[in-house]
Amino acid sequence: MKLRRIVSLLLTVLMIAGLSTVCLTAEAAETEITSTGAIGNYYNASYLENKAYSGTDLGSTYTPSKTTWKVWSPDATKIQLKLYATGSDMESGAANLGKYDLKKDSATGVWSIALDGDYKNVYYTYVIVSSAGTNETYDIYARAAGVNGDRSMVVDLDSTDPEGWDKDQHVFYDSQTDRVVWEVHIADLTSSDTSGVDKNYQGKFLGFAEGGLTINGKDGAKSVGIDYLVEQGIDAVHIQCPFDFASGDETNPASYNWGYDPKNYNLPEGMYSTNPYDGNVRINEFKQLIQALHDRGIAVIMGVVYNHTYVTTQSAFTYTVPNYYYRMSSSTMYINGTGCGNTTASDKAMFRNYMMQSLKYWVEEYHIDGFRFDLMAAHDTDTMNQIRAMFNGMYGGEGKKIIMYGEPWGAGDLGIPTENQAITSNFSKMSSNIAGFNSYTRQAMHGSEKGTNKGWFTGAASKAYANTLMRGALGKFSSDGFISYPNQSVNYVDCHDGVTWWDNILMSQRAASATNKAGFDTTAELYRQQLRTSFTYLFTAQGIPFTLAGTEFARSKYGNGNSYNAGATNAFDWTRIETYAQEVAYAKGMREIRAAYSPFRNGTTYNSLNWLTTSNANGILAYQLNNNKSGEWSSVIVAVNNGAAGTVTLPSGNWTIVADGEKAGLTSLGTASGTYNIKANGSAILVQGTTASKTAEYNTVTVNHYVGDKLIKSNESVYKVGNNVRP
């Protein structure tokens, strides 16, 4: 997330006044912020735990002949169900359809009502009377909702499935280190005219899913959108916050937000729907997007934000069970370990249960292949391990391939002892297939935010950075005691937080700034070379490689490191794939090299690296890695340079060059022996032995194209990768 902090005085005033608190945006943290654990046994730590409900039927349960509603609210004194014809009063046909009293089961604290008849597509709220007052609220367990998520909706989920959904398959890989993750926001991919997407679908689920797109929609131009992902060999897409969030207006086509302000956790955001008023449409269209990615062999990773809610005293969780779902230091003060005014309590039975049911629902109903946890440190290690164990047990054990990673830092005191937090230093307490962002390697690569201080790849002559990168090549953090396996390290140099890597490269060397925006469009070879060299390192390091979408075509936000609500700034300029075609091709080639050599993807044991002699020990890093797997190279050398041209002393024998800082892939670029001359700011990969040719497996699938409002289906051959598992 973009870390947000509330000015303490303002926060106190807002809480005392009972007003909603909102996240105020600040610069992203470059280093881990952890809790002191001083609060320890916070207020209401065991409150109502003896009333925890183990059932999975909270919310509305639909059948054509009867719908049942259930609410867990042990201390409420009265709950009523209100039914509506529409999701808001401003819609045509708006009407109140009745009010009904729910009945409480004192043993479980669950209130319920069952109404005979067909209530499909009826909208509803609860009126809950409790210590928080009398409040009308949406259902925290809702799986469908009307416009802006204010009213929940009874949904027949089977009716929301797109054609062929019963044949849709998860895209799983044997190891999460087999993936190169590409982080993207739904709207960014197609909200510019350069995407060639019809205006009605720009920035929408369906625009993202559309095949056959070219730059500016011109015949013969380069492919963009989802077809570009296929051509690049991108095999895992991390979608930022596709769930329903509060910080945007679904009725306003110009509205934009990253979405780290959750509202309804179990349904998609209506901003990306062609009709946010009908709760069915957003579900159907998000499924179409997932289906389109799966058809192309691309795994779908979903960004989730369970660590806080958008509002606090006025949230549906507070209205439903006051003072339970959050960590609090007193009966009136919320612990603000997220910088957003509140921190949810994953260590409490009902919120832990809520998280687990929600995640399982996204896997089973939407076929999501993995999850990225925002401010994962706000959750306790027991909860994360229980989530992992739940996944591992799904699909006859194939669920162990569901990817899990998150941010191992918080934004203040998290309210639980440090030893219980899912932070970097506690990774040894978590399962091997739970990963965290490696901020240490990132810091060494890129230096400070906005390039105030250079990183190693932008020319910093730093022995400390060089040592960190040597550890990072093994998928390690700054200390051996932090993580136990390479598959726990997410290696990255940029993400949605902060400036793009390209912008950092330019700003660190004063080639561009807020007052020199034209500089961000430079095509100077030095900066392009530095970009390509970073790909050489990132795609060969053990762990999970992760890039911001578009980094491979020098994506720029023109120095804006906090673009959470800047739609035009974030929109892809697809013409850059032509301007920076060499970098695009280089990134693709590096993906092919990584896929062809299994030691780069070794997630369970650390490789043994033979560091080679170079002409500049801190400025040129080079190592040899051996392999005994049949059909792959027997030995590989990786070399990266952050300064003047120099040499690498090669082990004996003849070496084939497959990447030279200009080109990369599985085709020979020449041979070398004795020494290798590495270019200034350049890189190289040299190999011995042979590797089997990468065989492309093409399947013919039916894909959707949209021309205006007309849906056209066509058959296309798409590259299939990974092991597909039927849900």
Active-site positions read: 374, 407
Residues 657 and 626: beta-carbon distance below 8 Å: no
Residues 331 and 409: beta-carbon distance below 8 Å: no
Residues 478 and 440: beta-carbon distance below 8 Å: yes
Phi/psi region, residue 149 (left: phi>0; alpha: psi -120 to 50; beta: rest), is: left
In angstroms, the CA 445 to CA 706 distance is 42
Residue whose entry in the numeric block shows the structure tokens 């219980």: 420
* Two structure tokens written together for 415: 């309210």
Residue whose entry in the numeric block shows the structure tokens 């739904």: 186
Strands 710-720 and 671-672: unpaired
Instruction: Say how far residue 56 (Cα) sits from the centre of its chain.
Output: 26
The torsion of the CA quartet 240, 274, 126, 49, rounded to 10 degrees, works out to: -20
Residue whose entry in the numeric block shows the structure tokens 């609210």: 73
Coil, strand or helix at 73:
coil
In angstroms, the CA 59 to CA 110 distance is 11
Q: In whole angstroms, how large is the CA radius of gyration of the chain?
A: 26
CA–CA distance from 561 to each of 409, 513, 646, 703 (Å)?
A: 19, 12, 35, 36
Contacts of 242 (CB under 8 A, 6+ apart): 186, 259, 268, 269, 272, 286, 302, 303
In angstroms, the CA 323 to CA 302 distance is 29
In angstroms, the CA 536 to CA 640 distance is 7
Residues 72 and 110: beta-carbon distance below 8 Å: yes
* Two structure tokens written together for 574: 């697809």
Phi/psi region, residue 602 (left: phi>0; alpha: psi -120 to 50; beta: rest), is: beta
Q: What angle do CA 711, 713, 715 make, to 5 degrees?
A: 160
Residues 454 and 65: beta-carbon distance below 8 Å: no
Enclosing H/E stretch for 569: helix 567-570
In angstroms, the CA 455 to CA 642 distance is 10
The residue type found at 215 is I
CA–CA distance from 148 to each of 143, 163, 281, 470 (Å)?
A: 14, 27, 13, 48
CA–CA distance from 381 to each of 175, 386, 387, 408, 481 (Å)?
A: 22, 9, 10, 11, 16
* Residue 217: half-sphere exposure toward Cβ, Cα within 13 Å: 14
Number of H helices and E strands in the chain, helices first, is 15, 31
Strands 78-84 and 123-130: antiparallel
In angstroms, the CA 139 to CA 669 distance is 60
Q: What angle do CA 458, 460, 462 make, to 5 degrees?
A: 145
Residue 99 CB-density burial (10 A; 0-12 exposed, 13-18 middle, 19+ buried):
exposed
Residues 607 and 640: beta-carbon distance below 8 Å: no
* Two structure tokens written together for 651: 């082990």
The residue type found at 409 is W
In angstroms, the CA 422 to CA 382 distance is 9
Strand pairing partners for 71?
111
Phi/psi region, residue 169 (left: phi>0; alpha: psi -120 to 50; beta: rest), is: beta
